């Protein structure tokens, strides 16, 4: 109150200064003076937006008034509008009358740091230094109509980082004056999120007595989390408070307060530092008749706790309640405290220290208080007890706790308690007791009228969970245990057995029920009427050849210590048989999850049901039944007859549509695949001995359907619609395998060939082996159980090692409508080939027969047909094959043709027939190839591995109908490492092509019944410039070849020695000159044709050795005749070298033109198919014996 009066005084001081300046009619000067001298006057910066003065009516209006924090630009107080109306006339009478004070939208920022506030400097500055002892007449003042509207107070506790906001504050004080100490005021505001406060106060300023009516509605107490957190280590405080109280007291004595009314606290919740609920309640209701702490009088109508909840956690070093008490907090520096009484002082550092110190002050005389309560009640309480101090944690809930007391009073000698509660899931607690007070001797005594605990499951749970590690080596928890001793029933619910780490669950079960015939125990007969296990859940984890239950097997095995207890067995042998009977064992709706940790593989079995009708000590045969679901909808059912003495069994196994996609993970350990899909069905009769897995016999059927395996690119690599195996008898121990038939429907295989392997080899992971597991000695120790596929692989490997020594038989093996897709990506262009509609069937296969006969057929790339009949010896020493390929489209293999030869097929179909026999591994093979309509394309690869003139060879190999027929025999020893039938056929076909090209005239001559040598060349004579009949006849043969072979062209090359022809030409010209100059007597122009022919014969008869001719030459050339010059050279010198060469060139051209013109113009051949050239090969010309035209055929690009 003193602090409030001090603030009012400061405010009035500022107001008075403003009034004085207003009287001087200097608003601007007033504004200037206030802002200039505010630091000097108040120690704070003050600004005013505007001052309005109305001296006639005594009105002062300050707008936008701001008072700042000391030494800071932060606001302490801001007022939007301050209006004061003063009665000016009364001032001259020394009577101070303020008719109205109106404060609109004030905003105040209050900051507290421990016991210090941000207005302490103002309090210190304006506090009087000493009491005013000067006496005088009282100051006459009247203040009316004081109002505050829409106020905002922001309170911040800095150390606690706690902020309170009082908003929409409205205040009304009708009047207070010097001669009337009583005043009335009204205050209302909003506090927190939805809280509303309403206070009406009557106070006497002289006596400081007050009467107040307080109404609080939905006040959110979460704002007190921060101060509470200074003394309690909690993470959350929630709740709302509603109260209606009449309060009486004196301002100068806080403890001298009394009140009555009611207080309700709703939805209280306190969470510890780990955000775990610690304490909560739905409603705390306190109906107060009268409370007067000053006189130690406490009268309560009722005190009700509705739905309280307490979580109590016990630890080795305390509990959760002791842990929340803050011990490490450093004590706050000593600060001034307000004195109350000699008994104690109040600490104002935060709301909870105020409550704590006030409560301590009131509790000093607690034993001497006068108290009364009609009743104290707890409704629907809940206590959660958790014990973490024991090896196995214990959790227990007390729920539906109800407690009511009789009247409590300091005048009564005692109180009666009635309580009941639910213990755990189904237990009950009933309690009635009395407490008696001996106030004189300060003693308390009690009496328990009744105490009942129904259901002992909490105790059983606690014992089991805390001893499970000692008994089992594993953590065990149970939900509920009922033991009905009179009926011999034991009911255990929610059993959980954990892995050795105590975190993961190994076994869980909804409940186990065991019923024992108690009466027969007294007769030393042990009869279990029923064992029922409902919804067990088992998690089996395999890591290599180790399982997660190995520790249990070792703990409970008879030889767990490393040797058998022979003494115990000896004693047992001498005693009478242990008489026991189990009428029925039932397992219902079980689940099993198998995990292979190395492969990240999970198998799930659900809806597992097991029934064992009866087990008796004197009856060795039992007949268990089990069934379960496997995968997505698969059903498995097993009925067994087991002799526990001999361990022999007979069983019927039925599997219906089990999804094998669950085996994807183990398959992926072998193959880099993306998926495995399919269904397994089977109906089998199984017989064997339990402790001898190899002693197994079976019959029945196995069906795999809709099998599909995709690679890492999600392409289907292997699939089939259905594989059906009809088993007559399989006896592993007797090595007997009798299968009626095996049928495979629509198998599919995708094979891709790459530069580095193929898709199948690329899928195989190299870090696994299919060999059997090794023992310590290094030998084979049996199947490898680390993976289902290693188990299959190693088992098949062991069986196959001695397969031909087994007794096997099947009536037939059938494949229907198979497909094989082959792609080669190593070529320049991808090659794809589809073998579809593949069918295969065999005759009987048996170890009694020496071979197996089978037939197969298929469609090749949608056009070709393949048919095969074969007989194979089992050891592949003797074999017979007869197979045909018909209508095979040659262009299908163009990617290979383009890659290896550079020339593709444009058209053509091939029929191929092979008949092969292998006797003692020696092959004799006849192969017939017939090709029709073959057409070759243009060259597409200039640098193929094999430079074969394929187009030319094909043209040569065609018969007169345009077909090719080839017969190729082959033979060889299959055991020869250098002999491969495929490579042999390739070499034979290559040699055929090469030989055809190397000797094309043989094939051409056969077509026209000619001598091959006559078709190779056309002889000519030097100085010849026209074709004779014989030469034209040979050109006619060329025309016939080109007409027959439309794709062929011819190149005719003139091969002649220019020097030899020049010698002949020079000699002829020189003889003509000699004859003309020495023997002719007539002019050339007058010669008749006959005379000219006669002269030519005469000139030809002139010998080059003729002396007269040589003398003529020497004379013409001015030679002596002693020079060593050949006659031919003298002739060429005489005629002129250049002239002779020109004439020779002219002759050669005439001959070539004559050949070209004859074929093109007379025989009407296309100019593009005829080419006449001259030989430039000097060596060939030097060795020439006869000039002529050489004929060469070829095939050119289209």
Q: Are residues 1025 and 906 in the same domain?
A: no
* Predicted pLDDT at 108: 92
Task: Indicate whether 222 belongs to any domain.
Answer: no
Cα 557 off chain centre by: 42
Question: For the segment 925-983, what is each residue's pLDDT rounded down to a tens digit?
Answer: 888 889 998 888 888 887 888 777 777 777 777 877 888 888 888 787 877 766 555 55
Buried/exposed code over 186-223 (b: 16+ C-beta within 10 A; e: otherwise): ebebebbeebbbebebebeeeeebbebebebeebbbeb
Q: What are phi and psi of 1019, to 5 degrees?
A: -75, 145
Q: Are residues 901 and 973 in the same domain?
A: yes
Q: Are residues 58 and 165 in the same domain?
A: yes
- Which has the higher per-residue pLDDT, 876 or 578? 876
Q: Work out the pLDDT band at 523, boundaries 50, 70, 90.
A: low
Mean pLDDT of the chain: 80
Q: Work out the pLDDT band at 483, boundaries 50, 70, 90.
A: low
Question: For the segment 648-689, what is each residue's pLDDT rounded down to a tens digit?
Answer: 999 999 999 988 888 887 788 778 889 999 999 999 999 999
Contacts with 1075 (C-beta within 8 Å, 6 or more apart), sequence order = 1095, 1098, 1099, 1102
First to last CA, the chain: 119
**Which 3 state secondary structure label does DSSP give 979?**
coil
- Which has the higher per-residue pLDDT, 1066 or 566? 1066
Q: What pTM does this model have? A: 0.53
Q: Are residues 954 and 1042 in the same domain?
A: no
Q: Given its phi and psi angles, is residue 225 left (phi above 0), alpha (psi -120 to 50 degrees) or beta?
A: alpha
Q: Are residues 994 and 1017 in the same domain?
A: no
Torsion angle in degrees (nearest 10) through CA of 201, 206, 209, 213: -10
Task: Indicate whether 829 belongs to any domain.
Answer: no
**Which 3 state secondary structure label does DSSP give 141?**
strand
Question: For the segment 100-116, what is each residue's pLDDT rounded down to a tens digit?
Answer: 999 999 999 988 887 78
Token output for 761? 């080899």
* Predicted pLDDT at 350: 52
Q: Work out the pLDDT band at 746, boundaries 50, 70, 90.
A: very high
Asked if 404 contacts 386 with a C-beta cutoff of 8 angstroms, the reply is no
Domains held by the chain: number: 4
Q: Which candidate, 1008, 999, 1083, 1075, places its Cα nearest to that of 1038?
A: 1008
Q: Work out the pLDDT band at 530, boundaries 50, 70, 90.
A: confident
DSSP bridge partners of 588: 534
Task: Indicate whether 881 belongs to any domain.
Answer: yes
Long-range Cβ pairs for the range 278-283 (8 Å, 24+) = 278/234, 278/310, 278/311, 278/320, 278/321, 278/324, 279/308, 279/309, 279/310, 279/311, 280/308, 280/309, 281/305, 281/306, 281/307, 281/308, 281/309, 282/306, 282/307, 282/308, 283/307
H helix count then E strand count, the chain: 25, 59
Asked if 694 contacts 732 with a C-beta cutoff of 8 angstroms, the reply is yes
Rounded to the nearest 10 degrees, the angle between the axes of helix 1089-1100 and helix 1058-1078 is 120
Residue 270 in this model has a pLDDT that exceeds 50 = yes
Q: Are residues 898 and 1025 in the same domain?
A: no
* Predicted pLDDT at 762: 86
Q: Which candidate, 813, 648, 652, 668, places its Cα nearest to that of 745?
A: 813
Q: Are residues 861 and 976 in the same domain?
A: yes
Report the pLDDT averaged over residues 269-277: 87
Evaluate the CA torsion angle 356, 359, 361, 366 in order and state its sign.
Answer: negative
DSSP bridge partners of 1048: 1195
* Predicted pLDDT at 288: 87
Q: Work out the pLDDT band at 795, boundaries 50, 70, 90.
A: low
CB neighbour class for 586 (10 Å; exposed up to 12, middle 13-18, buried from 19): middle
Q: What is the rounded CA–CA span in Å between residue 657 and residue 639?
A: 18
* Predicted pLDDT at 1084: 63
For 213, how many CA atoms within 13 A lie in the half-sphere containing its CB?
6
Token output for 117? 């506030």
Q: Are residues 1028 and 987 in the same domain?
A: no
Asked if 1126 contacts 1062 with a C-beta cutoff of 8 angstroms, the reply is no
* Predicted pLDDT at 1108: 86
* Predicted pLDDT at 1028: 92
Task: Indicate whether 1159 belongs to any domain.
Answer: yes
Report the pLDDT averaged over residues 1017-1028: 90
* Predicted pLDDT at 860: 94
DSSP string, 1018-1080: EE--TT--S--HHHHHHHHHHHHHHHH-TTEEEEEEEE--HHHHHHHHHHHHHHHHHHHHHT-
Evaluate the CA torsion angle 1184, 1186, 1189, 1195 in order and state its sign.
Answer: negative
Q: Work out the pLDDT band at 559, boundaries 50, 70, 90.
A: very low
Q: What is the rounded CA–CA span in Å between residue 712 and residue 756?
A: 17
Token output for 473? 């080596």
Alpha-helix runs per DSSP H in 312-404? 320-324, 351-363
Rounded to the nearest 10 degrees, the angle between the axes of helix 2-23 and helix 27-42 is 150
Q: What is the rounded CA–CA span in Å between residue 99 and residue 143?
A: 6
Q: Are residues 990 and 1120 in the same domain?
A: no
Low-confidence winner among 56-70, 324-338, 875-889 (lowest mean pLDDT): 324-338
Q: What is the rounded CA–CA span in Å between residue 1196 and residue 1050?
A: 10
Q: Work out the pLDDT band at 450, boundaries 50, 70, 90.
A: low
Question: For the segment 339-371, what is each residue's pLDDT rounded down to a tens digit?
Answer: 444 444 555 555 555 555 555 554 444 445 677
Q: Are residues 962 and 1022 in the same domain?
A: no
Q: Work out the pLDDT band at 823, boundaries 50, 70, 90.
A: very high
Task: Indicate whether 237 belongs to any domain.
Answer: no
Residue 1044 in this model has a pLDDT that exceeds 80 = yes
Asked if 434 contacts 413 with a C-beta cutoff of 8 angstroms, the reply is no
* Predicted pLDDT at 358: 56
Token output for 437? 């007070």
DSSP bridge partners of 807: 736
Evaluate the CA torsion angle 468, 473, 478, 481 in order and state its sign.
Answer: negative
Residue 1161 belongs to domain with CATH number = 3.30.1330.60
DSSP H/E element including 759: helix 759-763
Asked if 386 contacts 311 with a C-beta cutoff of 8 angstroms, the reply is yes
- Which of 998, 1027, 1049 is the last residue in one of the domains? 998
DSSP string, 683-737: EEEEEEETTEEEEEEEEEEEEEEEEEEEETTS-EEEEEEEEEEEEEEEETTTTEE
**Longest distance between any two alpha carbons in the chain, whole Å:** 195
Task: Indicate whether 573 belongs to any domain.
Answer: no
Share of the chain above pLDDT 70, in %: 81
Share of the chain above pLDDT 90, in %: 20
Asked if 951 contacts 1198 with a C-beta cutoff of 8 angstroms, the reply is no
* Predicted pLDDT at 334: 46
Q: What is the rounded CA–CA span in Å between residue 249 and residue 244?
A: 17
Asked if 868 contacts 835 with a C-beta cutoff of 8 angstroms, the reply is no
- Domain limits at 957? 850-998
DSSP bridge partners of 1049: 1194
Low-confidence winner among 503-512, 620-629, 993-1002 (lowest mean pLDDT): 993-1002
Asked if 707 contacts 713 with a C-beta cutoff of 8 angstroms, the reply is no
Torsion angle in degrees (nearest 10) through CA of 953, 959, 962, 967: -70
Asked if 480 contacts 474 with a C-beta cutoff of 8 angstroms, the reply is no
CB neighbour class for 778 (10 Å; exposed up to 12, middle 13-18, buried from 19): exposed
Residue 19 in this model has a pLDDT that exceeds 80 = no
Q: Work out the pLDDT band at 567, boundaries 50, 70, 90.
A: very low
Q: Work out the pLDDT band at 557, boundaries 50, 70, 90.
A: low
Task: Indicate whether 802 belongs to any domain.
Answer: no
Task: Indicate whether 297 belongs to any domain.
Answer: no
Q: What is the rounded CA–CA span in Å between residue 419 and residue 429?
A: 8
Asked if 810 contacts 742 with a C-beta cutoff of 8 angstroms, the reply is yes
Q: Are residues 604 and 508 in the same domain?
A: yes
Q: Which residue carries 């109509």 as its tokens? A: 145
Report the pLDDT averaged over residues 1127-1144: 89
**Which 3 state secondary structure label does DSSP give 44?**
coil
Q: What is the rounded CA–CA span in Å between residue 255 and residue 296?
A: 11
Q: Are residues 1124 and 1016 in the same domain?
A: yes
Torsion angle in degrees (nearest 10) through CA of 901, 902, 906, 908: 0
* Predicted pLDDT at 546: 86
Asked if 752 contacts 833 with a C-beta cutoff of 8 angstroms, the reply is no
Q: Work out the pLDDT band at 716, boundaries 50, 70, 90.
A: very high
């Amino acid at each position: 109150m003193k602090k409030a009066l001090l603030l009012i005084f400061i405010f009035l001081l500022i107001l008075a200064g403003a009034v004085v300046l207003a009287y001087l009619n200097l608003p601007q000067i007033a504004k200037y003076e206030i802002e200039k001298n505010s630091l000097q006057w108040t120690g704070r910066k003050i600004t005013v937006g505007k001052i309005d003065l109305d001296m006639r009516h005594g009105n002062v209006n300050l707008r936008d008034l701001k008072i700042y924090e000391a030494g800071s630009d932060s606001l302490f107080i801001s007022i939007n509008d301050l209006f004061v109306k003063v009665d000016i006339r009364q001032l001259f009478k020394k009577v101070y009358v303020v008719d109205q004070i109106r404060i609109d939208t004030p905003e105040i920022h209050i900051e507290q740091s421990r016991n210090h506030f941000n207005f302490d400097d103002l309090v210190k500055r304006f506090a009087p230094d000493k009491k005013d002892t000067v006496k005088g007449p009282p100051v006459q003042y009247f203040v009316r109509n004081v109002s505050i509207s829409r106020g905002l107070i922001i309170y911040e506790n800095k150390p606690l980082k706690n902020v309170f906001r009082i908003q929409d504050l409205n205040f009304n004080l009708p009047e207070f004056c010097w001669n009337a100490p009583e005043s009335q005021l009204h205050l209302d505001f909003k506090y927190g999120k939805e809280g509303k406060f309403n206070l009406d106060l009557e106070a006497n300023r002289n006596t400081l007595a007050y009467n107040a009516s307080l109404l609080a509605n939905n006040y959110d107490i979460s704002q007190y989390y921060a101060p509470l957190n200074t003394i309690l280590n909690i993470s959350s405080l929630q709740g709302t408070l509603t109260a209606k109280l009449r309060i009486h007291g004196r301002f100068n004595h806080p403890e001298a307060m009394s009140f009555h009314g009611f207080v309700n606290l709703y939805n209280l919740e306190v969470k510890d530092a780990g955000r775990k609920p610690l304490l909560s309640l739905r409603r705390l209701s306190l109906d107060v008749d009268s409370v007067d702490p000053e006189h130690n009088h406490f009268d309560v109508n009722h005190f009700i706790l509705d739905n309280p909840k307490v979580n109590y956690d016990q630890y080795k070093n305390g509990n959760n309640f002791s842990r929340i008490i803050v011990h490490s907090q450093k004590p706050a520096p000593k600060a001034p405290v307000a004195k109350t009484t000699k008994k104690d002082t109040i600490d104002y550092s935060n709301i909870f220290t105020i409550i704590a110190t006030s409560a301590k002050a009131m509790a000093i005389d607690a034993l001497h208080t006068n108290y009364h309560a009609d009743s104290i009640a707890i409704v629907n309480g809940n206590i959660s007890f958790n014990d973490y101090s024991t090896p196995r944690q214990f959790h227990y809930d007390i729920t539906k706790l109800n407690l009511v007391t009789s009247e409590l009073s300091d005048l009564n000698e005692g109180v009666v308690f009635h309580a009941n509660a639910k213990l755990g899931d189904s237990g009950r607690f009933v309690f009635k007791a009395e407490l008696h007070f001996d106030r004189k001797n300060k003693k308390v005594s009690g009496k328990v009228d009744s105490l009942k605990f129904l259901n002992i499951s909490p105790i059983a749970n606690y014992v089991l969970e805390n001893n499970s590690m000692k008994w089992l080596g594993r953590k065990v928890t149970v939900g509920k245990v009922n033991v009905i001793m009179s009926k011999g029933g034991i009911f255990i619910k929610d059993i959980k057995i954990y892995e050795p780490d105590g975190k993961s669950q190994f076994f869980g079960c909804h409940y186990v029920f065991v019923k024992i015939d108690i009466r027969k125990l007294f007769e030393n007969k042990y009869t279990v009427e029923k064992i029922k296990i409902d919804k067990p859940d088992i998690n089996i984890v395999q890591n290599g050849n180790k399982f997660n239950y190995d520790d249990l097997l070792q703990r409970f095995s008879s030889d767990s210590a490393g040797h058998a207890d022979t003494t115990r067995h000896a004693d047992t042998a001498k005693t009478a048989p242990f008489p026991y009977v189990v009428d029925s064992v039932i397992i219902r709706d079980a689940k099993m999850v198998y995990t292979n940790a190395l492969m990240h593989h999970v198998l799930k079995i659900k809806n597992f049901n097991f029934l064992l009708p009866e087990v008796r000590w004197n009856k060795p045969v039992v007949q268990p039944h089990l069934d379960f679901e496997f995968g997505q909808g698969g059903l498995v059912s097993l009925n067994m007859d087991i002799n526990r003495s001999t361990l022999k069994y007979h069983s019927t196994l039925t599997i219906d549509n089990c999804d094998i996609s669950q085996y994807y993970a183990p398959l992926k350990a072998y193959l880099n695949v993306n998926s495995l899909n399919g269904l397994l069905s089977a109906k089998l009769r199984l017989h064997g001995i339990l402790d001898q897995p190899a002693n197994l016999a079976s019959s029945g059927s196995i069906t795999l359907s809709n099998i599909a395996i995709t690679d890492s690119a999600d392409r289907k690599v292997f699939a089939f619609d259905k594989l059906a195996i009809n088993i007559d008898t399989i006896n592993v121990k007797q090595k007997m395998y009798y299968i009626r038939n095996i049928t495979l429907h629509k198998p599919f295989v995708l094979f891709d060939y790459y530069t580095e392997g193929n898709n199948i080899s690329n899928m195989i992971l190299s870090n696994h082996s299919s060999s059997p597991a090794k023992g310590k000695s290094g030998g084979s120790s049996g199947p490898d159980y680390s993976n289902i596929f290693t188990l299959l692989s190693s088992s098949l490997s062991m069986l196959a090692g001695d397969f031909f020594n087994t007794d096997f038989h099947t009536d037939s093996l059938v494949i229907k409508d198979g497909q094989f897709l082959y792609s080669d990506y190593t070529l320049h262009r991808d090659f794809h080939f589809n073998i579809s509609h593949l069918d295969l069937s065999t005759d009987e296969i048996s170890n009694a027969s020496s071979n197996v006969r089978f037939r197969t057929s298929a469609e090749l790339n949608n056009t070709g047909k393949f048919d095969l009949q074969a007989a194979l010896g089992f050891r592949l020493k003797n074999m017979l094959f007869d197979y045909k390929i018909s209508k095979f489209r040659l262009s299908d293999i163009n990617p290979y043709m383009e890659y290896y030869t550079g020339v593709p097929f444009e058209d053509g179909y091939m029929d191929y027939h092979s008949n092969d026999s292998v006797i003692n591994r020696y092959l004799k093979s006849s192969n017939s190839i017939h090709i029709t309509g073959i057409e070759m394309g243009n060259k597409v690869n200039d640098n193929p591995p094999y430079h074969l003139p394929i187009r030319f060879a094909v043209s040569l190999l065609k018969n007169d109908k345009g077909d090719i027929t080839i017969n190729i025999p082959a033979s060889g020893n299959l055991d020869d490492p250098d002999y491969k039938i495929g490579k042999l056929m390739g070499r034979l076909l290559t040699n055929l092509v090469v030989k055809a090209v190397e000797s094309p005239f043989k094939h051409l001559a056969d077509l026209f019944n000619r001598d091959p040598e006559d078709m190779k060349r056309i002889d000519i004579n030097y100085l010849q410039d026209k074709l004779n009949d014989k030469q034209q006849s040979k050109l006619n043969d060329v025309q016939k070849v080109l007409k027959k072979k439309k794709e062929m062209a011819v190149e005719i090359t003139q091969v002649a020695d220019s020097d030899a022809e020049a010698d002949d030409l020079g000699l002829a010209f020189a003889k003509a000159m000699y004859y003309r100059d020495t023997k002719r007597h007539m002019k050339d122009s007058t010669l008749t044709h006959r005379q000219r022919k006669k002269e030519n014969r005469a000139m030809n008869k002139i010998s080059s050795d003729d002396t007269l001719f040589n003398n003529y030459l020497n004379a013409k050339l001015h030679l002596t005749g002693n020079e060593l010059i050949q006659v031919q050279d003298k002739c060429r010198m005489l005629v002129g070298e250049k002239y002779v060469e020109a004439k020779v060139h002219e002759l050669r051209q005439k001959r070539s033109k004559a050949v070209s013109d004859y074929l093109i113009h007379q025989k009407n051949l296309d100019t593009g198919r005829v080419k006449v050239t001259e030989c430039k090969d000097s060596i060939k010309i030097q060795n020439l014996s006869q000039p002529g035209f050489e004929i060469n055929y070829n095939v050119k690009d289209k």
